[in-house]
């Protein structure tokens, strides 16, 4: 295959192979990462020696046929799942093959030198070569799946968009002490969740909030200290990897109830399912990301009728909403949640959806002063 046009130096494989034999790494897992990359490159060498076109093979991580549902884990990839092959001699995949080797070389050097880079750093190291940020993101996830090593262990970090606030203190990897309790504003979720330590909290529960606007409103109302000590987190929509990792770390550390506050629409339900059960594309990392104990606190479709929300304040379904809800209802985890299924059927029958902000039609502070306190006191979750 041609590497000259991809930005990979033609001597890269030989240089990398030489370094593989010279490196002595004192960190066991770092050695495991390096060894996994070495095995990939060695396979490339063996193919070339046999005058065969090298191929990279990885599990097809977007195929539902490769996924199984388990109550204690969520969506996980099955052993012996179907694979896809990235060929070096095929016009459709040769470029991707070369880019995977390029990023593997960058990861190898970072692990070797114990340095880190964000996915954005990798993209901007050669924007012409990579073409787009999404291409880099997909390749990094493919590499993680191929090596069977969590992405954070590859020394590749994500740019964080999530926020955390409330009764929580921790120390970041560089020794910086973070006190979310005293902060008047939210704290950005750490970019290296794996590196934080000394987590302390007196929180009674964790509240995951779908939208940033709702999160900020609860923050302004001082909800996390007035009602009961708690930790609030938002992924500001679909959560990034760091936000999901933090939710899992908090669960592992404190074993306290975790509730979700989402819009009463198919998109909000799907986001909640990502926190609880994971996603198909990241199912190979399910054991590190999912929190099956997550509970649905609100906004429940049945709440809309119970609270006598005016029908004019609700939003009609779009065709996309109908398709999304139909897809969710067919997923394997819904069968294990009959109460969830009942709520989704209420939504499907009405063909109406509602944002959390609809509660302001009752009163400006109904969410923080009435709805959430009553739900938490009387067990109004599923």
Task: List residues with catalytic annotation.
Answer: 124
- Cβ atoms of residues 144 and 286 within 8 Å: no
Cα 24 to Cα 260: distance, rounded to the nearest angstrom = 46
β-partners of residue 231 are 166, 206
Pseudo-torsion of CA 30, 33, 36, 37, nearest 10°?
A: -110
Helix, strand or coil, per DSSP, at residue 97:
helix
Cα 123 to Cα 205: distance, rounded to the nearest angstrom = 38
Cα 341 to Cα 346: distance, rounded to the nearest angstrom = 9
Q: 220: which 2 tokens?
A: 């302004």
Cα 42 to Cα 30: distance, rounded to the nearest angstrom = 18
- Cβ atoms of residues 264 and 354 within 8 Å: yes
Q: 310: which 2 tokens?
A: 């005016």
Residue 21: name the closest of 48, 51, 44, 41 by CA.
Answer: 41
The helix (H) or strand (E) run that includes residue 219 is helix 212-220
Helix, strand or coil, per DSSP, at residue 355:
coil
Report the first-to-last Cα separation within the chain, whole angstroms: 55
Cα 303 to Cα 381: distance, rounded to the nearest angstrom = 11
Residue 181: name the closest of 197, 199, 195 by CA.
Answer: 199
Beta strands 352-353 and 55-59 are unpaired
Report which DSSP code applies to 264: B
Beta strands 197-200 and 177-179 are unpaired
């Amino acid at each position: 295959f041609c590497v000259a046009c991809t930005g990979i130096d033609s001597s890269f494989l030989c240089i990398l192979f030489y370094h593989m034999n010279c490196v002595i790494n004192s960190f066991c897992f770092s050695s495991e990462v390096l060894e996994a990359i070495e095995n990939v490159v060695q396979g490339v060498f063996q193919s070339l020696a046999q005058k065969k076109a090298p191929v990279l093979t990885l599990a097809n991580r977007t195929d539902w046929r490769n996924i199984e549902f388990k109550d204690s884990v969520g969506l996980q990839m099955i052993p012996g799942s179907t694979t896809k092959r990235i060929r070096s001699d095929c016009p459709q995949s040769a470029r991707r093959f070369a880019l995977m080797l390029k990023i593997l070389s960058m990861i190898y050097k970072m692990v070797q030198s114990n340095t880190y880079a964000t996915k954005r750093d990798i993209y901007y190291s050669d924007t012409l070569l990579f073409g787009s940020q999404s291409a880099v993101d997909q390749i990094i996830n493919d590499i993680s799946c191929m090596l069977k090593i969590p992405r954070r262990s590859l020394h590749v970090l994500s740019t964080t968009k999530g926020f955390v606030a409330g009764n929580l203190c921790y120390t970041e990897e560089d020794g910086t002490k973070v006190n979310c309790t005293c902060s008047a504003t939210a704290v950005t979720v750490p970019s290296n969740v794996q590196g934080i330590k000394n987590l302390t909290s007196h929180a009674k529960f964790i509240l995951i909030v779908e939208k940033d606007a709702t999160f900020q409103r609860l923050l302004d109302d001082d909800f996390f200290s007035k009602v009961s000590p708690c930790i609030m987190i938002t992924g500001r929509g679909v959560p990034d990897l760091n936000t999901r990792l933090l939710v899992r770390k908090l669960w592992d550390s404190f074993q306290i109830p975790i509730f979700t506050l989402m819009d009463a629409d198919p998109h909000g339900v799907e986001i909640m399912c990502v926190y609880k059960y994971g996603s198909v594309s990241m199912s190979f990392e399910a054991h590190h990301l999912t929190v099956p104990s997550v509970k649905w606190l609100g906004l429940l479709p049945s709440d809309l009728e119970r609270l006598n929300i005016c029908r004019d304040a609700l939003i009609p379904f779009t065709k996309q909403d109908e398709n999304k809800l139909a897809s969710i209802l067919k997923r394997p985890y819904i069968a294990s949640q009959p109460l969830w299924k009942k709520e989704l059927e209420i939504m499907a029958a009405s063909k109406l959806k509602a944002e959390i902000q609809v509660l302001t039609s009752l009163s400006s502070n109904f969410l923080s002063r009435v709805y959430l306190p009553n739900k938490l006191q009387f067990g109004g979750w599923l």
